[in-house]
Chains A and B, each alone.
Chain A
């Protein structure tokens, strides 16, 4: 209604384009701010819980604000376990997992998206099917497999499979969707120019799908970073433990210290958060194909 009224008076605009944009942005801000409260709430609650004293926790989690913020809870979480050793272990595993996933998922996704080869569609469905089997039932056979090849107690089961598409079905499918969106002419003209598929892959596909690669890296990072179960069952030496596993120790049988538990949880999630914040600006700076007609 309002829109059309404004349109009618196009000849003599009451609101300049700039003002219109300002109003529109104001509305968006308003919606975003009110919504972000809902989405921020879990984190705020975690933070406040982490800052409470045990006595306050006993008095009830009904109050939100801590009376006397216990920043020392974070220090306790950092000092009672070899925090930096665990941090390094986590980084090692995450690094190889991300590199491995990027390597295997991009190549395989290209095969599924841009190449025609026998059995492709069947294999694509098989790939989807591997995600449909609940992980619990292949856990023990996998464990036995790694035991047979002597990888138990090392970081190999937690890193090497990523180079072979381990857990990458999700990312392969995701990247396939993005590659299929890259205009065909780009590849065809390159082929006419004598470039092979590897060149197209490296010089066209990868640079043009940076936001997607970033998404894949971020999701892999998060998954591997937060995974305590893999390290739990495959690692034997506590010196190889990761942060996610090492900080689970705060939930012991008798002393359910929620304050320390939340402090530890925040410490685990903080790197992911920082990474996300740093990475998200690339989403908006994504590649635009100017000059290419669809």
Chain B
């Protein structure tokens, strides 16, 4: 009993001791910045340096950075936004900026730019960002966020496997019929086991909406009514399902499971010769440099009327509305610092992301053919539309149906029909609540 009381006392003392040991910030305006580079992560020291450099570069503002690991960041910031305790500045997803802007959670960036111009101060040049990304940051004709990172999807191809099949970089397909032809030459199957698969449209980040776009179609029309009901929609879905139909489902399943068991990206493992993926795979492959020869190319398009386009997502950087002019000013200064040409390069190097500042990325990518290709593809990147009644239309809502089609539990017609019905139902319920 005595021991226990002693222990309690000890803990209490350490409790109080730990209460206050943060930096002395004097009378500077202190702002909070939440990022995804926590202690222990590879990007931690780089991010800390970037913040420290800002704090040392001037005497008016002080940025306090908090790194939260990527998976948990979203829970933390969404709960904080919901209860008006968001940081002054942080990342979010670019494709739903209008949702937060429409609910008055964000500062108007266009206002800040206009104020700078009136006062004759250097401001952010928005022409460095891609048009499409800016569109997603725009609400009511004004910017409410800035694009921060720019994710691009491309087709990775394994040159070692190409060489084994007697192919060269000149054979990299650009259309669907070329894709099919090349893929079949790359297939390596012994008996009931697939050793190497040339290509599968659903592997990696190959998504139905991505392929629809390349054919000039989409899930929704301009008024956000679900489409999915044309013959062409069906054709493209069948193209995805039937690409490797010469192999029985169980053989393909076994191949997929083997990939899962490896716990590694099938492209990195040399088990898939061509695969659609984003620039994250480039980061994954970096440790394998020299062991794996590969290149990236635009995603092949349908033979007729194909559109060069890729699903480009990205993070936004947002200033959360705190109704505090001093902190608004400080946050704006920090945002301008982050969006600066050289800082964008430094950030790209630290985070391993492609940043939104295109000229900066062009400079960063110079001499690296893979990165150069990604940067070139930025202008063809289009983010997915924000559908208020089904914000996750491309993931949770769609994937269940798509997978049932893959396992033949549903016919392709049923997949499209049922998905469309779900969107319609969601829209009815959304409208009933408005």
A residues near B (Cβ < 8 Å) are 54, 57-58, 60-62, 80-82, 88-89, 91-92, 95, 99, 139-140, 143-144, 147, 152, 155, 228-229, 232-233, 236-240, 245-255, 258
> Which of A88, A228, A249 interacts with B41 by CB under 8 Å?
A249
Chain A residues with CB under 8 Å of B283's CB are 254
Binds A, one of B221-229, B257-265, B294-302: B257-265
B117 at the A/B interface (Cβ < 8 Å)? no
**Contact count A vs B, C-beta below 8 Å:** 98
Could you tell me the distance in whole angstroms from the C-beta of B64 to the nearest C-beta in chain A? 9
> Which of B15, B70, B76, B85 interacts with A92 by CB under 8 Å?
B15
Counting chain A CB atoms within 10 Å of each CB, the highest count among B11, B75, B83 belongs to B83
Check B85–A147 contact: CB distance below 8 A.
yes
B residues near A (Cβ < 8 Å) are 7-8, 11, 14-15, 18, 21-22, 32, 36, 38-42, 66-72, 75-76, 79-80, 82-85, 261-264, 268-269, 280, 283-284, 287, 352
Q: A58-B264, A246-B39, A254-B283 are in contact. List 9 more A-B contacts (CB 8 A).
A: A60-B264, A61-B263, A152-B85, A232-B76, A233-B76, A236-B32, A239-B22, A251-B71, A252-B70
Alpha-carbon distance between A89 and B17 when the two chains are bound, in angstroms: 12
> Which of B8, B79, B261 interacts with A139 by CB under 8 Å?
B79
Alpha-carbon distance between A139 and B82 when the two chains are bound, in angstroms: 11
Check A249–B11 contact: CB distance below 8 A.
no
> Which of B42, B263, B268 interacts with A258 by CB under 8 Å?
B263
Could you tell me the distance in whole angstroms from the C-beta of A63 to the nearest C-beta in chain B? 11
Could you tell me the distance in whole angstroms from the C-beta of B233 to the nearest C-beta in chain A? 33
Counting chain B CB atoms within 10 Å of each CB, the highest count among A88, A91, A144, A252 belongs to A252
Alpha-carbon distance between A58 and B69 when the two chains are bound, in angstroms: 23
Check A236–B280 contact: CB distance below 8 A.
no
Chain A residues with CB under 8 Å of B41's CB are 249, 252
Give me 14 A-to-B residue pairs in the complex whose CB atoms sit less than 8 angstroms apart, sorted by A's number: A58-B269, A61-B263, A80-B40, A81-B39, A92-B11, A92-B14, A139-B79, A147-B84, A155-B15, A232-B72, A232-B75, A238-B39, A249-B38, A254-B283
Alpha-carbon distance between A82 and B44 when the two chains are bound, in angstroms: 13
Check A249–B14 contact: CB distance below 8 A.
no
Check A88–B83 contact: CB distance below 8 A.
no
Check A254–B66 contact: CB distance below 8 A.
no
Alpha-carbon distance between A251 and B41 when the two chains are bound, in angstroms: 9
> Which of A60, A91, A139 interacts with B263 by CB under 8 Å?
A60
Chain A residues with CB under 8 Å of B8's CB are 95, 99
Chain B residues with CB under 8 Å of A247's CB are 40
Check A147–B83 contact: CB distance below 8 A.
yes
Check B69–A252 contact: CB distance below 8 A.
yes
Could you tell me the distance in whole angstroms from the C-beta of A251 to the nearest C-beta in chain B? 6
Q: Give A86's nearest chain B residue, CB to CB.
A: B39
Could you tell me the distance in whole angstroms from the C-beta of B96 to the nearest C-beta in chain A? 18
Alpha-carbon distance between A249 and B69 when the two chains are bound, in angstroms: 5
> Which of B15, B21, B68, B284 interacts with A239 by CB under 8 Å?
B21
